[in-house]
Amino acid sequence: MKTFFVTSVLVIAMSLTAAADNFQFFYQSGNNFYYASYESVKLYDAGNRLVFSGFTDKYGRIAIKLNSGNFTCKVMYRKTEYATSISISNRTGISKVYFGRAMRPYSVRVL
């Protein structure tokens, strides 16, 4: 019975993140890239309403489960907030998002 319960919990947890978009955030300084580790990520819809808030892991990764669409993304990195736009597509793979002081933020989907 205990095994069944643990298996059920794992299956449910996996299904909740299965449709989530996965992102990895990097801070770029010159030719160097740094993980945005344990940093705040907030997404806002077209009406500027907060629709998601979370924190990246050690490697700057975060799973975001929202309906498809375009969102304004605000990332806090070392007490400075950076803004970019990201697209939620509910596809597999990971999108790498690059941001920094002297650059225009961009993202790349890796399949």
Q: In residues, how long is the chain? A: 111
- CB burial of 27-58 (b: ≥16 within 10 Å; e: otherwise) equals bbeeeeeebbeebebbbbeeeeeebbeeebee
Q: What pLDDT, on the 0 to 100 scale, is given for residue 110? A: 55
Domain map (residue ranges) of the chain: 20-110
pLDDT along the chain (111 residues), means of 10: 53 54 91 93 95 96 93 92 89 87 57 46
What's the CA gap between 86 and 10, in Å, rounded? 29
Which CATH number is associated with domain 20-110? Answer: 2.60.40.10
Q: What pLDDT, on the 0 to 100 scale, is given for residue 105? A: 56
